[in-house]
């Protein structure tokens, strides 16, 4: 594929991600912006904002920029010379502002990559809605936006997570064989999706999470020898997916006499406060209370296999290859 062919297809790449505050003093506004004006949720907003404050913000944006830089190098090696932009849904640089910058730079036809491994209204539709809202604000300068295919069963995604888990188990030495592998994903509110509530579709999120876990466990030779759970429930006035990671540690691992756990945050692509606090602080504390050793596998981040996967997904759209079968596009 030549650069000329590339530029004729898409003139830019837009990475669409969650976003995070880059300092502790931004924490309350960040969490409030996600939860919204709900007086009943004020205590929870301040609690979660406190986690960000204690960690002095989140490394999410910086880690996403590292992914973008690694992806840029990957695409250059493939002969794809296009600018890469990063737009965040919940913090600066907001998607709407990035789209404005792209339009001002003359971009007209962009290829968007949603940086979320598993699909649901919150992790897929909402990102697309955010892009659409920002695009609408451009009026006559609106970009044509095409999305890459999702990631959850891709061999490279599975390989990258398996490598991170192997590295974690190696830290345990002789205790590795008896350690319990746990996969974790962000909890989502049950029946929160308007499409699911109306019966138009079934939310694919949990099934995709379970399939990713099963495939990674198989690569590791642990078929059936793993547990799955959720974490980071943002509110408590409606039901969310379960079991919670701390409940799983107390009610399953502790009761079964597990000596060590290795937790893989497979539902996250880079470290965020959900990983650094909800797992490395809270889940670790739960393990300590139960007399269980805690080890956490790294997120895929800039693992070469994962960056190669992003390159594959982008190249597939430049070459107009058939779409990968998925519930949402």
30, 101 contact by CB (below 8 A): no
**pLDDT single digits (tens) 259-315:** 999 999 999 999 999 999 999 999 999 999 999 999 999 999 999 999 999 999 999
Q: What is the CATH number of the domain that holds 182?
A: 3.40.50.1400
In the predicted model, what is the mean pLDDT of residues 18-32? 96
How far apart, in whole angstroms, are the C-alpha atoms of residue 37 and residue 291? 40
**pLDDT single digits (tens) 70-125:** 999 999 999 999 999 999 999 999 999 999 999 999 999 999 999 999 999 999 99
pLDDT score for 21? 97
27 and 143 in a single domain? The answer is yes
Domain count within the chain: 2
Q: Tell me the pLDDT of the chain averaged across its residues.
A: 94
- Check: pTM over 0.75? Answer yes or no: yes
282 and 245 in a single domain? The answer is yes
Residues forming beta bridges with residue 110, ordered by sequence position: 12, 145
21 and 119 in a single domain? The answer is yes
How far apart, in whole angstroms, are the C-alpha atoms of residue 198 and residue 186? 23
In this structure, is residue 114 part of a structural domain? yes
134 and 166 in a single domain? The answer is no
Please name the residue that has the structure tokens 């974790």.
184
64 and 125 in a single domain? The answer is yes
pLDDT tops 80 at residue 195: no
Counting Cα atoms < 13 Å in the Cβ hemisphere of 19 gives 22
Determine the structural domain holding residue 261 and report its residue range.
155-296
Burial zone of 254 (CB within 10 Å; 0-12 exposed, 13-18 middle, 19+ buried):
middle
pLDDT score for 238? 78
98 and 184 in a single domain? The answer is no
**pLDDT single digits (tens) 304-326:** 999 999 999 999 999 999 999 99
66 and 22 in a single domain? The answer is yes
Per-residue pLDDT band for 6 (boundaries 50, 70, 90) equals very low
pLDDT score for 191? 74
| Strand ranges inside 131-234, DSSP E | 144-147, 180-186, 227-231
In this structure, is residue 329 part of a structural domain? no
169, 217 contact by CB (below 8 A): no
143 and 218 in a single domain? The answer is no
Determine how many CB atoms are found less than 10 A away from the CB of residue 40.
9
Helix (H) / strand (E) containing 313:
helix 304-318
How far apart, in whole angstroms, are the C-alpha atoms of residue 52 and residue 19? 13
Find, among 213, 17, 36, 33, the residue nearest to 124 by Cα.
17
pLDDT score for 73? 98
In three-state secondary structure terms, 62 is: helix
């Amino acid at each position: 594929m030549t650069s000329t062919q590339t530029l004729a297809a898409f003139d830019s790449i837009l990475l669409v991600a969650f976003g995070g505050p880059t300092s502790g003093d931004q924490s309350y506004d960040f969490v409030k912006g996600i939860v919204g004006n709900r007086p009943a949720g004020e205590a929870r907003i301040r609690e979660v904002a406190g986690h960000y404050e204690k960690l002095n913000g989140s490394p999410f944006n910086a880690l996403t920029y590292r992914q973008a830089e690694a992806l840029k190098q990957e695409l250059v090696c493939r002969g794809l010379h296009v600018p890469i932009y990063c737009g965040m849904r919940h913090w600066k640089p907001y998607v709407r502002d990035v789209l404005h910058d792209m339009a001002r730079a003359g971009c007209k036809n962009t290829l968007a990559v949603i940086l979320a491994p598993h699909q649901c209204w919150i992790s897929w539709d909402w990102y697309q809605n955010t892009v659409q809202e920002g695009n609408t604000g451009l009026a006559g300068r609106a970009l044509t936006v095409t999305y890459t295919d999702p990631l959850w069963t891709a061999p490279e995604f599975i390989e990258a997570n398996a490598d991170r888990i192997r590295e974690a188990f190696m830290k345990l030495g002789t205790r590795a064989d008896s350690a319990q592998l746990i996969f974790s994903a962000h909890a989502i509110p049950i029946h929160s999706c308007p499409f699911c509530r109306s019966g138009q579709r079934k939310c694919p999120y949990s099934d995709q999470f379970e399939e990713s876990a099963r495939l990674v466990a198989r690569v590791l030779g642990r078929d059936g020898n793993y547990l799955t759970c959720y974490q980071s429930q943002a509110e408590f006035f409606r039901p969310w997916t379960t079991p919670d990671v701390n409940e799983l540690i107390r009610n399953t691992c502790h009761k079964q006499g597990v000596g060590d756990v290795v937790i893989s945050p497979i539902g996250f692509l880079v470290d965020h406060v959900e990983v650094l606090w909800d797992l490395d602080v809270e889940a670790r504390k739960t393990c300590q209370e139960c007399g269980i050793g805690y080890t956490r596998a790294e997120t895929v981040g800039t693992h070469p296999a994962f960056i190669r996967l992003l390159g594959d997904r982008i190249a597939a759209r430049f070459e107009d290859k058939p779409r990968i079968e998925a519930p949402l596009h």
